[in-house]
A = this chain, B = another copy of it.
C-alpha cells in the first residue's frame, strides 16, 4: 500500500457548493443593494448518489461575529436559494452550506417501502429512524427536543402497531421538526465568504442638479453661499434631491485659465474651480468669496430644510499654488530640472494643474491625507461626493479609501466621474464607488441605447455598477444638443430620468437649453467653468415645467426607483424605443415610448411583452403621465406616434381593466 498524507478536511463531507450568486470576480468585490431590499442568494448543492440534501444561507449583519442562518429551498436541477431582508446599512457577509439530510432520506425511503408494501423491511427501518430522531433531539432544545425524544421512543415501541409508527414517522410535523435540527457537522461550505454593501436608498434612486454657487450673486458680482441659498427653493421646486456643487475651494492663480479656456486671463477672471488650492488653502478650505465654514454649514441646513442634500466635488489635483506643493513636494513628480511635472497628454499641457504622484515613496502619507479630505467634509455634514476623474488616481487607493470612509460612515455616497475605457469604469465601481457616470451622454440611437442598457442591467454589471445618466455636464455639450431645441432637450431628459433610476443635469444650462459650442472644443461657448454666468430663470421657454413633471413622476412611481426590472419591447420603427420598468410585484408598471429622432414625427407598432407587464391579453388602459391622455389598448400589438414638436415621449402607467 502506498502511504499518503490524509487530506486536510474530513473526507466524509459529501456536499460540494458551487456557483453561488450573486458573486463578482470570485468574491473579490461586494455586490450592492440598499436598505429594505430582499436579498436572494442561490447556489448549486452537488452530492453523490440520491440522498436528500439540506442547505442554509449563512450571513452576518454588520458587526456580527457569528453566522446567522436561513434555510435554502430547492429549485430545480440542483439549484437552491434563500432570501434575507437587508435591514441595516453597512457591509453584510454571506456564504452557503449544504449537507446530506439523513433523516429526510430515511423518511423518503420509509415511505417508498411502506407504499410498496415492503413490510418485512419496516421494523429495522424504524430502529434506524429512531436513532436519527434521537440524534436530532440532542441537537434541539425545549419543546422540540421533547417532541423528538418522544418520537424516538415511540418509533422503537413494539407495543405500538407498526403501521401506526410508520405514520407517525411520516407525519408532516415530524418532518418539519426534524428539518429544523439537521446534522450539520459534515456540511460542505462554499470556499469563499462574499459581501454585499447595503447603502441608503438614495444610492440607487436620486435626481441630481449641478450648479455653480458663484453664479448666484448679484449681477457682476461673485456669488456666495448666502446668494446660493436664494436658489434652493427653485431647485427643490424642480423636484431634485441632490444639489451638486463644483469644487468650493480657493482657486490657484498660477497659469489660471481665462474665459473660454484661454491662457491669457484678465485680472478679474475667476478661474476654474478644478484648479484647487491657493495660499488661502487647499482641499479642506473654502473659497473666501463663497463664505466661511459657518456659511457653508448654514447652506447645508437650508438645503436640508427644502429636502435637498448637498454633494461636493472632490478633485484630487493641485494648482501650483496649493499648500501641499510646498509642504509635501514628494507627493508630486519632480523633474530632473527641479520643476514639478504638470498634467499633460502630450503634446497638450495643463500647466495650471499638478497631478498627485501615486508612485511617490510617501504614498502612504498621501493616501491618508486624501482620505482625511473626505473625513473633513463628512465632519461638516456632507454625505455625498462627486469624485472628479477618479480613473487618473491609483485603483488600489480607491479600494482602500472608500473602505475607510464606509467603515464609520456607511451612509456616504460617492459618484465616480469617469469617462474612460469600459473596464476601468467598471473597476472603479467594483472598488466601491456608489454610482458612476456612463456613456449615456453619447448614446443616441434606439439600438445603441437598448444595447447599452441591457449591458448595464444584466449580471454581473447590474450587481456592482449603478449608472447615473447625465444629458449634459459643464465639460460636455454632446453633438445632439448643439443648436438643438425643446424637442431634443426634452427627449434626452426623459430618457435619462426613466432609463436610469439616478440621473442629473447641469443647470440652469439644461433647462434654459444652452446649446452653443465653442468651435473645436466640445465645450460650451462662454463656459461657466471659467466665468460667472447670469441665467434668466424666468424665461418662458424654460424646460422647468417638464422637468418638474418628470421628477414628480419619478417620485410617485416606485417602478422607476431601480433599473433591475428594465425590459425593452420591440418596435418596428427603429426610431422608436419602448421599455418598461416595474416593481417586483407588478403593482406599479411604467411603460415608456420615446421617439429618439428629435426632428421628425415617427410612428409604428410596438409588440409588448404582456407577461412582463402583468397583462393577460385582454384590454387594458395606458395613462400618459406626461400628456395626460388615457388609451384603451388590446393585446400585445399597439400603434404609437410621437412628434418631437410637442412631447417626444409617452410615460404610461399600465392600468389593468
Q: Residues on A close to B: CB < 8 A?
A: 1-2, 4, 6-7, 9, 11-14, 16, 18-19, 25-28, 44, 46-50, 77-78, 108-109, 112-113, 115-116, 118, 124, 127-128, 131, 186, 191-192, 335-337, 339, 344-347, 358-360, 363-364, 367-369, 371-372, 375, 391-397, 400, 404, 421-424, 427
Q: How many identical chains are in the complex?
A: 2
Find the B residue at minimum CB distance from A423.
B78
A11 & B113 in contact (Cβ 8 Å cutoff): no
Find the B residue at minimum CB distance from A408.
B2
A158 to B346, CA, bound (A): 24
Residues of B within 8 A of A369 (CB): 1
B113 & A78 in contact (Cβ 8 Å cutoff): no
Residues of B within 8 A of A16 (CB): 395-396, 427
A128 & B48 in contact (Cβ 8 Å cutoff): no
**CB < 8 Å: which of B2, B13, B108, B396 contacts A14?**
B396
A108 to B394, CA, bound (A): 21
A128 to B337, CA, bound (A): 10
**CB < 8 Å: which of B116, B359, B360 contacts A347?**
B116
A4 to B423, CA, bound (A): 30
**CB < 8 Å: which of B115, B372, B394 contacts A12?**
B394
A46 & B128 in contact (Cβ 8 Å cutoff): no
Residues of B within 8 A of A400 (CB): 7, 11
**CB < 8 Å: which of B48, B78, B427 contacts A46?**
B427
B392 & A48 in contact (Cβ 8 Å cutoff): yes
Residues of B within 8 A of A364 (CB): 6, 11
Residues of B within 8 A of A371 (CB): 2, 4
Residues of B within 8 A of A127 (CB): 336-337
**CB < 8 Å: which of B28, B186, B335, B423 contacts A128?**
B335
B124 & A48 in contact (Cβ 8 Å cutoff): no
Can you list 26 A-B pairs, Cβ within 8 angstroms, ordered by A? Answer: A1-B368, A4-B404, A6-B364, A11-B367, A11-B396, A11-B400, A12-B363, A14-B394, A14-B396, A18-B25, A26-B26, A26-B27, A47-B395, A47-B424, A48-B392, A48-B393, A48-B424, A49-B391, A49-B392, A77-B422, A77-B423, A112-B346, A113-B346, A118-B347, A124-B337, A186-B359
